Amino acid sequence: MAIADIVTRTQTGPSRSLPATYGERPAIDGPGMAALVEWVEGIAALTQPDHIHWVDGSRAENEYLLREMVDEGKLIKLNPEWRPGSYLARSHPSDVARTEARTFIASEKEEAAGPTNNWAAPAEIRATLEGVFEGSMRGRTMYVVPFSMGAVGGPLSHIGVQVTDSAYAVASIGIMTRVGTEVVRQIADGAPWVKTVHSVGAPLEPGQQDVAWPCNDEKYIVHFPDTLEVWSFGSGYGGNAILAKKCFALRIASVIGRDEGWLAEHMLLIRVISPEGKAYHVAAAFPSACGKTNLAMLRPTIPGWRVETLGDDIAWIRPGEDGRLWAINPEAGFFGVAPGTGESTNVTAVETLWGNTIFTNVALRPDGDVWWEGLTDQAPAELIDWEGNPWTPDSGRPAAHPNSRFTVAAAQCPQIAADWDTPEGVPLDAILFGGRRATNVPLVVEATDWTHGVFLGSTISSERTAAAEGTVGELRRDPFAMLPFCGYNMADYFGHWVSIGQRLRFDRAPRIFQVNWFRKGADGRFLWPGFGDNSRVIDWIIRRVEGRVPAVDSPIGRLPRIEDLNLDGMEVSEADLEELFAIDPDSWLAEADLTEEFYDTFGDRIPSSLRAELSSLRYRLKQA
């Protein structure tokens, strides 16, 4: 099929409410437009779609696509009385999460990808991709989605284009990014852009009936850091299909940041406002299941304190001319895990989901609303589970998939900062690293300087087992919470962090802290209540930033004096507080050995300054 023969409309034709030019290529001229069109036509020639649709990001277009998916049985429209403008998608049971085992970094040299990534030789994987993508969009529409990460034209923003044969992906990208012809205009004017290609890998023969969730058993998510491309095949789910998210915003952006001198981080971003009205900005990196979203939407239990949400998942951080670090949330929405999100754990998130939300793999209530484990303390008497089967509390299986999701605009969050999408970003006062540790790691520890803070970030880990069974040796490493998302050799990434600190003014660099909400006692009980009471740790951190309270030196860093923690209204025993900050030198020396083993997997690429930090830690522990 010749490119000229591919019409520019969806199969069912445009809605009467849409303009006659619906779906057509924008009439924009400029030096970069020819390259964009040539790229789109090249992908179309390979994938052979029936139609090409250039997405303009308008509300009318979005409503049309959503209505079309409902008509095709790919979305269920929820009861507008309970969830106006909201929909439920059910994926194929084999396509429910990121496919990290099929995620590759195709750098020219294997050592550039490093031991924590799956490496693929670029020429070989391109040949494989050409084979699976050939004809993969037959019978479908290929959507061309121009998007911006960060405000369009912002000094910290970057742009890209995704081509996809999934209308579900288009609707999700429209929530998670800024989509529209303004991005095409930037490309036409010569702005650099990232190329992302996605297909569910389920071509349709003439007259063949489509399925509710097309996908393919064969899957690839391949990143080309040298040419700033992402190719994803076979999955329609989440980060496998919304390529602007983890693929671009972290894996590819981390490479761009390395080359341009900034950081692309798996971090939430918040503004903390003191009772006196002074604002502080905090970025925090946590692996999954460590309270990241809860902290992003924190409601302090200390009277007078407020938290405004700036971002819940990704931060792009650049050194400013003033010697500080400036950060933006490059996303426009939240793509959050539903189970465990409830009024008792994160009421802000629940309030955000009042409408205009795409839910995936949650349960459906008889009244047309949705439910998932943790939304309420008591489950409804009957539901339709995430696979479309009847469910009751006696069914013996989850009603919602454990990785079920919600996709919603950040602007709907009741705690969102009024200037959350300011193009210039906000100046950082503190950076937090955390993991889920039942043992060893105190509630909070302050790094002694920037390099020590990088050392703390490089050693972040979570215990695999419950507290009663957990031992120091059973750690899941996730340095900087970036293990699955760093687009190049992680040892070089550690070195990049060290070098960023050298560009900051000593008195303006953000202070770095490690936190651990999950330490347990010998009886397996959490020693710290967490959730809103984590604001008490933030309170101490801010007073440290201000220099208003001293700290206690320890072998692993600076600890609070108990009397400097605001514990008013809390019921935490002195014994629990003592255990929260207890440091066992022998256990820490054993952990230092594990850190050295981890560093050794990178050979001689680990920065010498971090090796020195490890040696100093051992020395201090032996002197304790």
* Residues annotated as catalytic (active site), given as ranges: 290
- Residue 308 has φ and ψ, to the nearest 5°, of -110, 135
- Asked whether the beta carbons of 172 and 242 are under 8 A apart, the reply is yes
> DSSP labels for 360-423?
ES-EE-TTS-EE-TTSSSS--S-EE-TTS-EE-TTSSS-SS-TT-EEEEEGGG-TTB-TTTT-T
Q: Which two tokens stand for residue 295?
A: 């902290």
**Which of 508, 505, 478, 504 is closest to 493 using CA atoms?**
478
Q: 193 CB contacts (<8 Å, ≥6 apart)?
A: 36, 158, 159, 160, 161, 183, 186, 187
What Cα–Cα distance (Å) separates residue 323 from each residue in 71, 86, 428, 452, 503?
55, 44, 11, 19, 7
What does the buried/exposed string (b/e) look like for 489-516 if buried means 16 or more CB atoms within 10 Å of the residue's CB? bbbbbbbbbbebbeebeeeebbbbbbbb
Enter the DSSP assignment of 310. E
CA trace torsion 100, 339, 372, 466 (10° rounding)? 110
Taking the C-alpha atoms of residue 45 and residue 11, their distance in angstroms, rounded to an integer, is 18
- Residue 5 has φ and ψ, to the nearest 5°, of -85, -5
**Which of 142, 137, 141 is closest to 203 using CA atoms?**
137
- Asked whether the beta carbons of 519 and 439 are under 8 A apart, the reply is yes
What Cα–Cα distance (Å) separates residue 183 from each residue in 53, 151, 283?
16, 10, 28
Measured in whole angstroms, the distance separating CA 31 from the mean position of its chain's CA atoms is: 34
**Which of 251, 258, 254, 250 is closest to 496 using CA atoms?**
258
- Asked whether the beta carbons of 435 and 474 are under 8 A apart, the reply is no
Pairing of strands 220-224, 103-105: parallel
Taking the C-alpha atoms of residue 70 and residue 61, their distance in angstroms, rounded to an integer, is 14
